[in-house]
Structure 1
């Protein structure tokens, strides 16, 4: 198994060299391409922080100019037969992955959900009290481990670890030190996405059949923005009767309420 963060934005040739060096340590003889190594032995390769290769201010999954070769590389891995597994971890879904899924190749997307019962271990590690209120706290912050760690520290700092006291004072969802994290996500949005997402302050959910609140936006632009926001994990699809609706996660709704007020 090999894990590699892409936070330092390695060029594709640099990444390929690192992969070949890794494979060469355990495989003989030396093989000419990465695909050959993936065919020769069963390997697990995890490439983390893929979103660092994408442009900010554009719809989700658009590569920076000097990193567009990655698109072809990932397509080759997905479309060639081999016995290995390559996992991409990202804030944003690459566009070519969506296309490959539609072509029914052995490519899948897993949207990581928040923790449930396991989240209690985080709260227990901070020695929080009022365990009967823990499920409410976990649900409020979507079981997100990083968010729960941050909020748990706040509860210790301000409320002596009392979850009940914290919840009793919070009319709205408290963000505190979560704000810089949320800001870093919203800074990546395109102008089109920012226009659409601001409309979720007034609407609990939006249907695809709904007319854009901004008369300057076309229906097609609205759909493109919603699709991109879903690929960023900021919107989720829900069923309401026979039609699909898209809603903003409560944490993001609270942040927009604070940010755009």
Structure 2
């Protein structure tokens, strides 16, 4: 059979019989085990085409800011994917914000629709908490229960979403280790002992609780404490010439 060459020949090679045999791929015999149909579970991930079931599980959180007369009630509903299997996941599906104060109506409706749409998109939605926590109120922030500073009511909404994502396992909590808790307890005891020693017997202990430093967690801090840059708790005191947080243990001296 003749082959017509229309292009100029620039180089050529001679194919040897051994090279031709090597170019032929070896025949792979099929494994009988591969022909057996093994049922494979389909893992469902969160995406916007997932239909809303009739029932969703969720939690409601209360946000009470001293800047507003009425509290906000935030409800986050979760959808359970791959229920009853080893791939079971709980993911946020929708959020609702309710309040008696109609002043919040426009931005609460807008936030609920946008955040719910992001939830239904799936993927890593943890960035929402960080973005909301970075919102500052031009009128100034406030201290919520526990002495934690909130730059705005939107920032506290971000904290609520972050706490909820930690509860369902999307964010790994940064809990203190037993060693860190022990160190904080020792520093706190040393501070209280020194304060009592320097105060008069008739005066109140230095560890008396101010109204704004008393929180639902049961932790109390001296009224003279300042805000911690790390955990935002009003729990920073001077110990041995070094500013130390009695809540998270953060210290400028290391």
Structure number with the higher strand fraction is 2
Bigger Cα Rg: 2
Higher relative contact order (CA 8 A, sep 6+): 1
Give the TM-score range, shorter chain. under 0.3
Structure number with the higher helix fraction is 1
TM-score, with length taken from structure 2:
0.21
TM-score, with length taken from structure 1:
0.21
